Homo-oligomer: A and B are copies of this chain.
Amino acid sequence: MESKKYAIGVDFGTESGRAVLVEVATGREVATAVYAYQNGVIDEALPVEGQRVPLEPDWALQDPQDYIRTFQRTIPQVLAETGVPAEDVIGIGIDFTACTMLPVKADGTPLCMLPEFRSQPHAWVKLWKHHAAQPEADKINATAREMGQPWLQRYGDKISSEWFFSKTLQILDEAPHIYQAADRLIEAADWVVWQLTGVETRNSCTAGYKAIWSKREGFPPNEYFTALDPRLERVVDEKMMRHIIPIGDRAGGLTPQAAEWTGLVAGTAVAIANVDAHVSVPAVTVTEPGRMVMVMGTSICHMVLGEEEHLVPGICGYVEDGIIPGYFGYEAGQSCVGDHFAWFVENCVPAAYEREAQAQGVDLHQLLEQKATRLLPGESGLLALDWWNGNRSVLVDVDLTGLLIGATLATRPEEIYRALIEATAFGTRVIVEAFQDHGVPVDELVACGGLPDKNHLLMQIYADVSGREIKVSASDQAPALGSAMFGAVAAGSEVGGYDTIYAASQAMARLKEHTFKPNPQNQPVYDRLYREYLRLHDTFGRGENNVMKTLKNIRAETRQRANREA
B547 near A535 with CB under 8 A, answer yes
A562 near B383 with CB under 8 A, answer no
B354 near A413 with CB under 8 A, answer no
Whether A1 sits at the interface, judged by CB under 8 Å, is no
B402 near A408 with CB under 8 A, answer yes
Known contacts A525-B558, A555-B381; A348/B409 CB under 8 A: no
Which one of A75-83, A103-111, A137-145, A371-379 contacts B?
Answer: A371-379
Within A315-356, the residues touching B (CB, 8 Å) are: 336, 339-340, 343, 346-351, 354-355
Whether A401 sits at the interface, judged by CB under 8 Å, is yes
Q: How far is the CB of A529 from chain B (nearest CB, A)?
A: 7
Whether A205 sits at the interface, judged by CB under 8 Å, is no
Q: How far is the CB of A56 from chain B (nearest CB, A)?
A: 17
The 8 A CB mask of A382-410 against B (1 = contact, 0 = none) is 11000011000000000001111111110
Whether A370 sits at the interface, judged by CB under 8 Å, is no
Whether A550 sits at the interface, judged by CB under 8 Å, is yes
Q: How far is the CB of A549 from chain B (nearest CB, A)?
A: 10
The tally of residues in A whose CB lies under 8 Å from a CB in B reads 54
Whether A4 sits at the interface, judged by CB under 8 Å, is no
Whether A455 sits at the interface, judged by CB under 8 Å, is no
Q: Which residues of chain B come closer than 8 Å to A336, judged between CB atoms?
A: 409
Whether A548 sits at the interface, judged by CB under 8 Å, is yes
Residue of B nearest to A521 (CB): B561
Q: Which residues of chain B come closer than 8 Å to A376, judged between CB atoms?
A: 558, 562
B554 near A381 with CB under 8 A, answer yes
Whether A545 sits at the interface, judged by CB under 8 Å, is yes
Residue of B nearest to A385 (CB): B405
Given A351-B354, A389-B408, A535-B547, 10 more A-B residue pairs with CB atoms under 8 Å apart are A350-B354, A401-B407, A402-B407, A402-B408, A403-B403, A403-B404, A403-B406, A406-B547, A535-B545, A539-B545
Binding site for B on A (CB under 8 A): 336, 339-340, 343, 346-351, 354-355, 376-383, 388-389, 401-409, 411-413, 525, 528-529, 532, 535-536, 539-540, 545, 547-548, 550-552, 554-555, 557-559, 562
> Can you sample 22 A-B contacts with CB below 8 Å?
A347-B411, A347-B413, A348-B349, A348-B413, A351-B351, A378-B551, A378-B554, A381-B401, A383-B547, A388-B408, A401-B405, A401-B406, A401-B407, A403-B407, A404-B404, A404-B405, A406-B548, A525-B554, A529-B551, A532-B550, A536-B545, A539-B545
